[in-house]
């Protein structure tokens, strides 16, 4: 294993660990499943590191890997709490206290995202992250018109929920 | 809450996350050094082990055929079983090749297509392998010769041979029916649905359908 590659990996994960956390929380409501998904995403980022090039923003590339892992490998309704006896061994620890004042609204936000289908989730996450519609379209390999339609439908769902 | 408010909240959440999240670097290093623990690598390893098992079977059957070459039931049985073992070996090699090609940094639809290709290939290999079911007597003839040094076929009466042939024919029809029914549109059937879920991956197929419907709409 090259030292440079190893250092680059640690640096990328340290700087953008939030992406992994957000994707895992958006795709798994269960804490045990989330930890499995975090591990799988981090393993695939390590495996795919050689494919990264400067044509992409590192955050866009990480979103691609994380979302692809989330929609393909993770199996929903996996109730395997017995597999994890020690949840202290978590890759990403999150201090809930720090966001206590926003926790209620954040939980609602994640609940809304959790309720969407897998592709809408991916579109919304990238949209919230500030990616342009053309970037979202490239990341999903769909047309900009489709992204635009998806975003309009998400807006309608949000409106319906609010009313 | 509208989408713009949601976006502002998300940005604030992202900034806060960097402050209140910590990374377990020891565990992370373990993931790097033990890459085999990833789901994809586990799959590749499983398929590679399957391939090695099939290779051992092909070599063993080949050696048996070479050492006792004649037109007897056990040798013909070994020949038939070797064909299926070779199919299994080719299937495992194909699976390893397709799985190794999966690149999670590709656009989502392309990654899904690659994953569906793995599942479709796996389904086709399964279809080919279950074609061996009508030849179940080949296992028996070969087993008797290997363990008891007896050519069971030569001792069987014509009546017994006909009975086993009829059973093989029924198996053949059942397998043909199953293969014919093993299509996405028959997933409502309990057995077909279960087989699809196990072999073809219902969730991935459903996701690809979502992409295709999106393009049609």
Of B8-12, B115-119, B184-188, the poorest mean pLDDT is in: B184-188
State whether residue B4 sits within 8 Å of chain A by CB: no
Inter-residue contact A74 to B201 (CB < 8 Å): no
B28, A10: Cβ pair inside 8 Å? yes
For the cut 70, the answer to whether the pLDDT of residue B131 exceeds it is yes
Residue B129: both structure tokens together: 């392998």
ipTM value for the complex: 0.82
pLDDT at A96: 60
Backbone angles phi, psi at A92, to 5 degrees: -120, 115
Are the beta carbons of B18 and A86 closer than 8 angstroms? no
In this predicted model, what pLDDT tens digit does every residue of B25-44 receive, in sequence order?
Answer: 887 777 777 655 677 888 88
Contact yes or no for B107 and A141 at CB 8 A: yes
Whether the CB of A145 is below 8 Å from some CB of chain B: the reply is no
Q: Which range has the worst mean pLDDT, A76-80, B10-14, B184-188, B192-196?
A: A76-80
Provide the chain B residues 63-82 that lie in CB contact (below 8 A) with chain A: none
**Does pLDDT of B210 surpass 70?**
no
Whether B6 shows a pLDDT value over 70: the answer reads yes
Residue with tokens 């799988």: A40
Cα–Cα dist B127/B84, whole Å: 11
Instruction: Give percent of chain B with pLDDT exceeding 90.
Output: 44
- Say how far apart CA B139 and CA A48 lie, in whole Å: 44
Mutate to test the interface with A, among B14, B15, B23, B198 (most CBs of A within 10 A): B23
Which of B19, B109, B204 lies closest to A141 in CB terms?
A: B109
Report the percent of chain B where pLDDT is more than 70: 88
Cβ–Cβ of B7/A109 closer than 8 Å?
no
DSSP state of A92: E
Q: Return the pLDDT at A99.
A: 60
> pLDDT digit string (tens) for B155-173?
999 999 999 999 999 999 9
Per residue of chain A (163 residues), give pLDDT as tens. Answer: 577 888 888 889 989 999 999 999 999 888 888 888 888 899 889 888 888 887 778 888 999 999 999 887 655 444 444 444 444 567 777 666 656 666 778 888 899 999 998 889 999 999 999 999 999 999 999 999 999 999 999 999 988 887 7
Q: Which residue has the higher pLDDT, B123 or B208?
A: B123
Q: How far is CA B91 from CA A155, B15, B67, B115, B134, in A?
A: 46, 48, 27, 16, 20
List domains and CATH numbers for chain A.
1-94 (1.10.1740.10), 99-163 (1.10.10.10)
DSSP B102-134: --TTS-HHHHHHHHHHHHHHHHHHHHHHHTTGG
Please report which confidence band the pLDDT of residue B206 belongs to, taking 50, 70 and 90 as the band edges. low
Q: Is the pLDDT higher at B13 or at B198? A: B13
């Amino acid at each position: 294993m090259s030292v440079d590659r190893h250092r680059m990996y640690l640096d990328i994960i340290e700087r953008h660990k939030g992406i992994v956390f957000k994707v895992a929380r958006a795709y798994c409501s269960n804490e045990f499943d989330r930890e499995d998904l975090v591990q799988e995403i981090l393993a695939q980022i390590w495996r795919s590191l050689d494919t990264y090039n400067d044509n992409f923003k590192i955050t866009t590339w990480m979103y691609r890997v994380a979302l692809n892992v989330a929609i393909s490998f993770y199996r929903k309704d996996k109730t395997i709490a017995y597999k994890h006896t020690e949840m202290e061994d978590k890759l990403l620890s999150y201090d809930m206290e720090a966001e206590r004042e926003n926790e209620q609204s954040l939980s609602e936000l994640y609940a809304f995202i959790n309720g969407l289908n897998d592709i809408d989730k991916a579109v919304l996450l990238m949209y919230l992250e500030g990616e342009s519609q053309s970037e979202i379209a490239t990341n999903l390999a769909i047309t900009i018109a489709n992204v635009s339609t998806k975003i309009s439908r998400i807006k309608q769902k949000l409106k319906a929920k609010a009313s | 809450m509208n989408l713009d408010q949601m976006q502002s909240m998300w940005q604030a959440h992202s900034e806060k996350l960097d402050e209140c999240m910590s990374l377990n670097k020891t565990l992370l290093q373990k993931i790097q050094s033990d890459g085999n623990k990833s789901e994809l690598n586990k799959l590749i390893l499983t398929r590679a082990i399957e391939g090695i098992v099939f290779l051992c079977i092909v070599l063993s059957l080949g050696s048996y055929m070479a050492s006792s070459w004649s037109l007897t039931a056990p040798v013909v049985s070994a020949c038939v079983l070797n064909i299926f073992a070779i199919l299994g070996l080719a299937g495992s090699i194909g699976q390893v090749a397709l799985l190794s090609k999966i690149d999670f940094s590709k656009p989502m639809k392309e990654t899904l297509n690659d994953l569906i290709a793995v599942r479709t290939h796996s389904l086709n290999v399964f279809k080919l392998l279950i074609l061996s079911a009508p030849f179940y007597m080949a296992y028996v003839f070969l087993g008797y010769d290997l363990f008891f040094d007896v050519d069971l076929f030569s001792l069987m009466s014509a009546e017994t041979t006909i009975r086993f042939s009829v059973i093989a024919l029924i198996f053949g029809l059942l397998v043909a029916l199953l293969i014919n029914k093993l299509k996405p549109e028959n997933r409502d059937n309990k057995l077909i649905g279960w087989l699809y879920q196990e072999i073809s991956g219902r969730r991935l197929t459903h996701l690809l359908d979502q992409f295709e419907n999106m393009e049609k709409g």
